[in-house]
Structure 1
């Protein structure tokens, strides 16, 4: 059987960098390097593993973001995805999960799909609700937070691990799934994969192509907003206590003062 898999990925600020907010209180993407969200790498990996067992399967990666977001697509293509779609439009600046899910739904419908795979959350927003909202917009079932996933006989199934128990869940295709960082280590792109990615097609779209109004996305169409942000205070030097037999008592007093104990 043939299978069309679409993987939603995001270009995010590097968590090891000095992240912050721009003047309009959106995430500052100019002052820090960006990369493919680590949690989305697991989604790409699971798509490739599923595709490896299905003849004629095609994996398309999709992202919504500025020009640099193509770097996230290139990483996914170098891992083994077949093609990519990049949605870029100035009016998308400041889009929240509702606006982003609307755009992704249009792209997924345009591409055609049997299965949509996403990471459990982005490493910048960390809301974790996009897969569910996307499934609602597409009108298909959702099977989220899977640590194991497989597709067989027109059904996607997997295991969802909780704090005290695990459950087996499944849904008929077409469907949307999200996978956790326990689903399997993502492969590292080989040199051959990196070179091959340069020849793979990347389709560029804007809001006009998707027949969307700018008022439905961006800051104007956002359902959420940041009211204020304050920079984290600079780290100060710690207090050094010389232990002359009273170190334990002084440590306990300090912890009690800070309400740690």
Structure 2
């Protein structure tokens, strides 16, 4: 079974700061990590490979340093990795990003299953996976908490607010996964050494069959105009009184003064 996992290198959100002049994320000096949901996707793919055989290829669109994220996935147990990187891809929104990733998946060819994390912690849109499925003309199941594959079909338990629903779909298929699906394994020392020796190919615009007008900022119908930190709310007032009755009367007086009641 041929499985492709889409991963993203994201800034550690505990360290994220915003430039007040440009309204963009300050990435310099901020540690980068593999998007946590994508680690769950990699683990799900490896488990399916261990059960059914086949190959797991991880793919990421990003700058050259995104190779570090791909190497971590290789150290976990993925077989191959591809970095899609070109200045023409810069500034892409979710639609342009998913279009580019779909082109790369087509280049890989003969893919049975594509697994993505539910969303990236830096954008939180949960759009790239479903949009890639649309570009590829494939069925999709989102928010998977369990995946079983047998006889060319996938049986997926889909998590939602009221419980789970079971969906069966024919392969090839794209699935996005939630954190409850598994606990990602730690890279082994042997796996890390092997990953560091592995050459990761970089695919640019020239390597892909792709429309340049649909790439990067130019191909993005949505653009971020402003990013800001919400104003911190002031803390409420604690009313001190000798009795509950006095406290209630004091509260009623303040609410009346504020014309709330």
Instruction: Give the TM-score taking structure 1 as reference length.
Output: 0.86
CA distance in 2, matches of 1:250, 1:212: 70
Q: Residue 118 of structure 1 aligns to a residue in which SS?
A: strand
Aligned mate of 1:82, from 71, 79, 84 = 79
Aligned mate of 2:224, from 226, 234, 250 = 226
Task: Please say which of residues 197-206 and 107-116 is displaced more in the overlay.
Answer: 197-206
Cα pair distance change 1:236/1:131, threshold 3 Å = closer
Aligned mate of 1:122, from 114, 120, 123 = 120
CA distance in 2, matches of 1:39, 1:251: 49
Counterpart in 2 of 1:133? 131
- Do the aligned partners of 1:62 and 1:84 also contact (CA within 8 Å) in 2? yes
Counterpart in 2 of 1:102? 99
Whichever of the two has the greater Rg, that structure is 2
Q: Which has the larger share of helix?
A: 2
CA distance in 1, matches of 2:7, 2:13: 16
Q: Which sections of structure 2, spanning at least 5 residues, go unmatched?
A: none
Cα pair distance change 1:93/1:213, threshold 3 Å = same
CA distance in 1, matches of 2:82, 2:250: 56
Cα pair distance change 1:219/1:148, threshold 3 Å = same
- Do the aligned partners of 1:9 and 1:61 also contact (CA within 8 Å) in 2? yes
- Do the aligned partners of 2:16 and 2:25 also contact (CA within 8 Å) in 1? no
Cα pair distance change 1:166/1:239, threshold 3 Å = closer
CA distance in 2, matches of 1:229, 1:163: 29
Paired residues in the alignment total: 253
Instruction: Give the TM-score taking structure 2 as reference length.
Output: 0.86
Task: Please say which of residues 24-33 and 193-202 is displaced more in the overlay.
Answer: 24-33
Shift of 1:19: 3.0
CA RMSD of aligned residues (A): 2.8
Counterpart in 2 of 1:46? 44
Q: Residue 46 of structure 1 aligns to a residue in which SS?
A: helix
Counterpart in 2 of 1:155? 153
- Do the aligned partners of 1:86 and 1:204 also contact (CA within 8 Å) in 2? yes
